[in-house]
Amino acid sequence: MPFSLGRICLFMALLLPCTTPAQDAPVEIAIVSAPPYTRIDQDGLPEGPVIELIKRLFADLQQPYRVRDLPPNRVGLRLIKGQAALTIASEGNPGLSRLARQGKEPLLTMSLNVYRAPGTPAINNLADLAGKRVIAISAYSYGTADAQLAENQPATQKLYANSHEAALQMLLHGRADYLLDYAEPLLDHLKQLPPDQVQADHIRDIAMFWYLSRQYPHPELLDRLDQAVSKQRRTGDLQRLLTLPSE
């Protein structure tokens, strides 16, 4: 009995190697610069320890990818539209959780600090910011700290800056009582100031995770990434890669 065209196509398909769109098309990773972990080099390309980690993880998965450094609001828009598959953000991020699924393996932790001018009362916890004017970075998330600040009574008045440098300048010019920000992106800016011009109170360490867009058609990618991160942690490569020189 002769083969029909449909049977020939099926037979040929069985002989071909099995690939998925996730394996063939580059996965877009949209990130927000957080020096010194990620920054833009002289050619306008992302670089830094986290970029090197991404390179190793995706080499392990044998998965093509591309990294785009974008403002926080554009990262969210690309996740909504499914144009970006992945980003890296703080644990328990309420805004991202509606758009993306959080991974299980932390990539790194960042220190959340409150910065103040000398003579301003020290901050022991977020409740101490009740009734205070606090600078934050526009479109940034500080994990569960955002919800805790929102519960303060009297209310914490938040003022927003478009960058870490602008936020620091607002504090130096007395625009607010305190600045809430991650320590690592502020390191280079603080080094340019006279000693003790700005003081810091450590609030907590916040873990950063992969987030996979809910629009991405291959949700198994998140589990594969978690496994790759776990492997890097077991070998100690992750710790060596992400430990900053000053630590």
Residue 159: its pLDDT value, please? 96
- CA nearest to 160, candidates 185, 139, 138: 138
Q: Averaged over 194-216, what is the pLDDT? A: 95
94 — pLDDT class (breaks 50, 70, 90): confident
- What band does 246 get if pLDDT is binned at 50, 70 and 90? low
Pick from 191, 171, 164, 194: nearest CA to 117: 171
pLDDT: is 4 or 51 the higher one? 51
Mean pLDDT confidence for 26-35: 93
What gap in Å lies between CA 86 and CA 100, rounded to an integer? 8
Evaluate if pTM is beyond 0.75.
yes
List the domains of the chain with CATH numbers: 20-108+207-242 (3.40.190.10), 110-206 (3.40.190.10)
Contact 56, 235 (CB under 8 A): no
pLDDT of 72 above 50: yes
Nearest-angstrom CA–CA distance, 33 and 163:
10
The dihedrals phi and psi of 27, each to the nearest 5 degrees, come to -85, 130
The yes-or-no verdict on residue 3 having pLDDT over 90 is: no
Average pLDDT of the chain to the nearest whole number:
88
Query: Residue 23: is its pLDDT beyond 70?
Result: no
The pLDDT, as a whole number, for residue 223 is: 98
Q: What's residue 245's pLDDT?
A: 67
pLDDT higher than threshold 50 for residue 155:
yes
Long-range own/partner contacts, residues 43-51 (CB < 8 A, 24 or more apart): 49/241, 49/242, 49/244, 50/88, 50/107, 50/108, 50/242
Mean pLDDT of 205-221: 96
Mean per-residue pLDDT, 1-20? 38
HEC profile for the chain? CCCCHHHHHHHHHHHCCCCCHHHHCCEEEEECCECCCEEECCCCCEECHHHHHHHHHHHHHCCCEEEEECCHHHHHHHHHHCCCCEEEEECCCHHHHCCEEECCCCCEEEEEEEEECCCCCCCCCHHHHCCCEEEEECCCCCCCHHHHHHCCCCCCEEEEECCHHHHHHHHHCCCCCEEEEEHHHHHHHHHCCCCCCCEEEEEEEEEEEEEEECCCCCCHHHHHHHHHHHHHHHHCHHHHHHCCCCC
Confidence bin at 16 (pLDDT 50/70/90): very low
